[in-house]
Chains A and B, each alone.
Chain A
Amino acid sequence: MYAPLPRWAFASLAVLLTAGAIVLVALLWRRETNLAELRAKAVSATREARWDEAIHFCRTWADQFPGTAEPREIQLEAGVRSRRLPVAIEAARAMLRAGPANPELQEKLALWLFLTGELEEADKLCAALRKENPGREGLLLPLHADILQRLGETAKAAELVDQMLLSGGKNPQILTMRGSIYLEEGNYPKAVATLREAKSLSAQPTEKNLHYLALALARNGDTREAEALFAQLRSRQDLEIWDKYGRPDSIPYKVNLVETLIHLGKREEALGILSEIRREAPDNPYLERLATTASAMPAGGGK
């Protein structure tokens, strides 16, 4: 029925099969080599904090070996340690897609999404987590309330905050959140009372508490106290910046110190530092004004 295959066809087939086999073996060998190489590179780059490389190798590794969880785990670690949250988020999403439910990782992902402004996804994740893991609600409620408030879902946020206040007592952070919601709702007297209560419960009130209390006071008509709180907040933020970027002996720091000294009535000290600053920054009307203020103060004062 069939004509015998010619010799050239056998030869071609043999060549093709051999070539195919060689390519296959080479690919498998290369794959193994790649896997080992990529792993070693990703691990060492992460260990040595070479973040760009670490992330690149992890991504390549994950792309080439999609079934492997390890590259995503290392990527997540690299993302967190290098404070590159979008990288950690990418890894966490991939791990959650591929692996079984992991409430701990989901919680972290929700927080990272909140911090990077992906609030819709964070909201959905929190809602799902709370539904599936009622036991973990305590950890999730404050985050979810914060997310809802930022999304403008004030009523839903208030519901969660009230739930926390009922079950967990008066926590300054939660009270601050409640106060800020009252503020948003336009209920200024209640906002002031709640934020004051939160402030009284904390030795060192948070920036958030000072800010919202000052705003509530201002909207409630108590501008003087509001301005005093804003001044406190401003000094604290200045100090935070100097702590972060260093040089606490810089001129702005000294100016701030002078302002504080004037506020405390310490005339001589204020004038001493002022003359030092004015040598470094002459012709500064604000410094001149501070000097006039300090000079006009009674000598040897101090509260």
Chain B
Amino acid sequence: MTIPQTKPEQSGTGPAWSIRRLFPVVLGLAVALSAGLWFFLPVALDAGREKTSPPAKEVETGGLWFDDATAEAGIGFQHFDSATARHLIHETLGSGIAWIDYDADGWPDLFCVQSAPIEGKRPANLTSKLYRNRGDGTFEDVSEAAGLSKVGFGMGAAVGDCDNDGFPDLLVTYLGELVLYHNQPAQDGKRCLVDIAGKAGLKNPHWGTSAAWGDVDGDGDLDLYVCNYCEVDPKKYPVCQEPRTQVAMCCPPSHFPAVSHKLFRNNGNLTFTDVSVESGITAPPPAPGLAVVLVDLDLDGKLDIYVANDMKPAYLFHNQGAGRFVEKALVSGCALGLDGSLVAGMGIAIGDVDGTGLPSVFVTNFEKKPNILFLNRGKLDFRESSMRSGLGGPSIPFLKFGTEFLDADLDGNLDAVVANGHIHRAARKFTDNDYPQKAQIFRGLGSAKFVDVSARSGAYFSTPKVGRGIAMADYNRDGLPDLAFSNVGDGVKLLRNTTRTPNAGISLDLIPQGSSAPCNAVGARVVAKTGESKKTAFVVGGGSYLSGSEQRIMLGLGSASQLDALHVIWPSGRRQDLSGTSLKTGAAFRIREGSPAEAFQSPKGRSKDK
């Protein structure tokens, strides 16, 4: 009975026979396809996920989120890598970036410091770059129009309106010289930057690194502090080898004499006087300085100077008034790291991380050593709290440079970001580290506690780079702090903050009396109250590493819809109570000393709303 039904199959003709004969092949193909899908699909999905916004899970687990907006913004700066076969120490430091609203249109523009060959001919195209913020998320390269033609071994940049004309000026440190770009009107009605360092009397024939502006003598104009690294003669450069493996490497700064740093007093007429000796800043032994911040650490109304030195104790120049300083870092407990160990101080961030209303100091450090957090207990008493804060442990494997505190999700707790990257190209030969390293971002939990959320904060924090500078600004005016990173031999990266948060904050541009630029409010302090919560923020000069952030206060206020009280303590000492005014969160205000707050440049829609 069944024979007729099987006949066609036995005969080997017809479609059924073909299908059955092909069965093993089809089965094999199916298995292979399934295996392929099983293997590749998650990878493909994962890759897609990195390029887009954070999945819900990331937000739930406390990640912050930053998208790389460099290309869409039109920032094309490429850092020149000065690497040589001689492993000169100069090759290690990179150069910085600074946010400067050079045309005073309320939108921060980005200045990128360029490096150059250490010796020999320097190509004319290696100029620093200025990118003008168009206000629509894009930038235009205005370097040439602004007059930036200087080529040199550039290091750091600091922004300050040194003549109080409302247009920020720019100090750039170079190996062997300083450049002071005075912001002047150009013939086409726009602005240009003209180097007046020589006329202004700003001389520093040393290796200047980070610099900071601030009115340290209280006379109403910005003075200038310049860190110097060490004195190196490339013609007499020693050969250095890693002690254990004998691999050739760049010599450490301990091989070279350090030189005292510089303090220039602003004479008020676009000239400066070198007051390094009489101010007392040359009193302590010289040390290789890499970062400086001007901040009133003991809230006595006078700007102090904190300097991170490389493999030497940090300086804390306590302002005695009348332009005199006494160095007190060691006795204050903020000069050395864990158990008195030396810190290779690279970058500095300042913030009230524990709700005491006092500025604590965070210093980045060398590999295999933790970043150091000095909690401010008042009256220049600092407590080293690196490991217990959560900022120390996860940082140990990395070699750390630029850093900033920011409230990325506006929850009222400061977060911290750090740029990492080794100094030795052949690092892998003698450490377990690579030359490029991933940057890190730590979410603040309040009470000086942090958790490393780098793995869930966007692709940039998973991509190794030779990171150096970090500068923060709200470049798209959406109320969230954004970041720019400088990297050795690589492009500057612009990261747009796209953290999805229900929180709101308030942005404040402070303009002290006698000035019309927010960058001159260095030393001002803001105390904001919402319900039981009190937040304190500081306008500081300098900070990070070779870089300058926008000096706009961005206070995260959580779910509050309005500020209950706002006090501004100005550099002049005036205390201004703005509690009566309606200061709604999610808005930006400009506050001139002694005047009511004016709504200014309200934040545009957040990324989540777009």
Contacts and interface: CB of A to CB of B under 8 A. Distances in A.
A15 B21 contact: no
Contact of A184 (B282, B383, B392): B383
B257 A52 contact: no
Interface in B321-336: 330-333, 335-336
A214 interface: yes
Give the interface size class of chain A: 35 or more
A142 interface: no
B373 to A, nearest CB: 12
B243 interface: yes
Contacts of A52: 428
Interface stretch (A27-35, A62-70, A111-119): A111-119
A250 B393 contact: no
Contact of B252 (A227, A241, A285): A241
Contacts of B336: 211
Of residues B10, B257, B276, which shows the largest number of chain A Cβ atoms within 10 Å of its Cβ? B257
B313 A255 contact: no
Given A208-B340, A212-B340, A286-B260, A117 B394 contact: yes
B340 A241 contact: no
A247 B24 contact: no
A242 B254 contact: yes
Interface string B1-12: 010001001101
Nearest to A219: B381
Contact of B397 (A51, A86, A119): A86
A125 interface: no
A12 B24 contact: yes
Contact of A116 (B254, B330, B397): B397
B76 interface: no
B255 A250 contact: yes
A233 interface: yes
A166 B277 CA distance: 53
A223 interface: yes
A119 B387 contact: yes
A43 interface: no
A135 B340 CA distance: 33
Given A9-B20, A208-B339, A211-B339, A284 B243 contact: no
A242 B205 CA distance: 27
Q: Which of B12, B259, B370, B431 neighbours the largest number of chain A CB atoms within 10 Å of its CB? A: B259
A117 B389 CA distance: 11
Contacts of A83: 432
A83 B341 CA distance: 19
A87 to B, nearest CB: 7
Q: Looking at B286, B331, B332, B340, which has the most chain A CB atoms within 10 Å of its CB?
A: B340
A10 interface: no
Contacts of A208: 339-340
A294 to B, nearest CB: 15
A214 B329 CA distance: 12
Nearest to B341: A207
Contacts of B388: 150-152
Contacts of B6: 3, 6
A281 B258 CA distance: 10
Nearest to A12: B24
A170 interface: no
Contact of B393 (A86, A119, A212, A286): A119
A233 B285 CA distance: 14
A212 B257 CA distance: 29
Contacts of A51: 432
Contact of B387 (A86, A150, A250): A150
Given A86-B397, A210-B340, A245 B432 contact: no
B447 to A, nearest CB: 11
Nearest to A207: B340
Contacts of A210: 340
B21 A12 contact: yes
A97 interface: no
A127 B167 CA distance: 60
A250 B243 contact: no
B450 to A, nearest CB: 13
A8 B21 contact: yes
B10 A233 contact: no
A165 interface: no
A82 B392 CA distance: 23
A241 B254 contact: yes
A42 interface: no
B428 A247 contact: no
A124 to B, nearest CB: 14
A6 B257 contact: no
A118 B388 CA distance: 11
A219 B360 CA distance: 18
A60 B58 CA distance: 31
A225 to B, nearest CB: 11
B342 A237 contact: yes
B487 interface: no
A180 B340 CA distance: 11
Contacts of B24: 12, 15-16
Contacts of A223: 331
Interface in A1-28: 3, 6, 8-9, 12, 15-16
A151 B313 CA distance: 24
A214 B330 contact: yes
Given A245-B254, A252-B256, A252-B258, A152 B342 contact: no
Nearest to B395: A117
A118 B396 CA distance: 10
Interface string B227-244: 000010000001010010
A20 B505 CA distance: 65
Contacts of B387: 117, 119, 150-151
A281 B260 contact: no
B307 to A, nearest CB: 15
Interface of A: 3, 6, 8-9, 12, 15-16, 51-52, 82-84, 86-87, 116-119, 150-152, 180, 184, 207-208, 210-212, 214-215, 218-219, 223, 226-227, 230, 233-234, 237-238, 241-242, 244-247, 250-252, 255, 259, 277, 281, 283-286, 289
Interface of B: 2, 6, 9-10, 12, 17, 20-21, 23-24, 205, 231, 238, 240, 243, 251-252, 254-260, 276-277, 282, 285-286, 311, 313, 330-333, 335-336, 338-342, 370, 381, 383, 385, 387-388, 392-397, 428, 431-432
Q: Which 8 A-B pairs have the closest CB atoms?
A: A211-B340, A117-B393, A152-B388, A84-B432, A218-B331, A150-B387, A208-B339, A251-B257
21 contacts: A6-B9, A15-B24, A16-B24, A86-B397, A118-B393, A119-B387, A119-B393, A208-B339, A211-B336, A214-B330, A218-B330, A218-B332, A230-B335, A241-B252, A241-B254, A241-B311, A241-B342, A245-B243, A252-B254, A277-B257, A286-B285
